[in-house]
Amino acid sequence: MGLESVYQRNVHHRAHRAGWLRAAVLGANDGLVSTASLMIGVTAANPGKDTFLITAGVAAIVAGAMSMAVGEYVSVRSQNDVEESDKQMEIDHLAVDPEGELMELAQIYIERGLTPELAQEVARQMHARDPLEAHLRDELGQTPQNKARPMQAALASAASFTMGGLIPFAGAFAPTPGTIALSIVGFTLAGLLVTGILSARTAGKDVFGPTVRVMLGGAFGMAVTAGIGRLLHINLG
């Protein structure tokens, strides 16, 4: 089998998905759980007030999506700033002391198992080709695949939060007023099930563990919020 077959296999690697997948899974899970928890809490504290519940649901989705987008952008942008700062530092180091940087790169290869002679030769070849790329990759671990992409993360987070939030929101339109809370819980658990399966499949993992983890976390959040809402209804009602 030649290199072409190897390249074809490498297409299935999932490292390039890490940035947006993390943001999307977090956004969808947060949209499901936070929207459902808020609506269940409102239902428990104010039973029978369906109009207020719908308004609270819409506000939760809009505010949550904007918050997730801004938070994700700022967070990932900070990571991007660190990467750019490290890149500039390497540019300065290579300009001031290229021989020292060459020795540093060779030492990295020695620590990875190459003989000193081979490490020196590889380091020289890397420096002759593109010293900055070699140091960014082998010293700092910066590659195009794991580069921080703030806008991509922000859009993935906001979109997935909105889609996740709409699922429990749909449960608020139950035909019988007394079943609204159960409807929201049912819709949310179904959404968490789908989110867990899709995220596990996208990441190339077995579906059982991630799905159970997502569903248990969501159920716990809804239970706590419903309990607090019920207490408020008893104490203030």
Q: pLDDT (tens digit, 9 = 90+) per residue, 109-124? A: 999 999 999 999 999 9
Write down the pLDDT at residue 101.
93
Write down the pLDDT at residue 199.
74
Question: If 0-12 CB within 10 Å is exposed, 13-18 middle and 19+ buried, where does residue 68 land?
Answer: buried
What does the pLDDT average to over 172-181?
A: 78
Nearest CA-CA partner of 167 in 19, 55, 36: 36
- Give the torsion through C-alpha atoms of 81, 149, 21, 39, to 10 deg: 80
Q: Residue 73 gets which letter from DSSP?
A: H
What does the pLDDT average to over 206-220?
A: 83
Q: Flag whether pLDDT at 17 surpasses 70.
A: no
Give the list of residues 6+ apart from residue 133 with CB closer than 8 angstroms, or none.
Answer: 126
- Quickly tell me which residue has 């207490």 as its tokens: 231
> Where along the chain do its domains lie?
19-229
Give the list of residues 6+ apart from residue 91 with CB closer than 8 angstroms, or none.
Answer: 132
Average pLDDT, the chain: 82
Q: Residue 77 gets which letter from DSSP?
A: H
CA distance 165 to 82: 33
Whole-model pTM over 0.85: no
Residue 80 — very low, low, confident or very high, per pLDDT cuts 50/70/90? confident
Q: Flag whether pLDDT at 22 surpasses 80.
A: no
For 17, the token pair is 């998905």
Write down the pLDDT at residue 100.
92
Grouping H, G, I as helix, E, B as strand and the rest as coil, residue 142 is coil
What does the pLDDT average to over 182-206?
A: 83
- Residue 101 near residue 135 (C-beta atoms within 8 A): yes
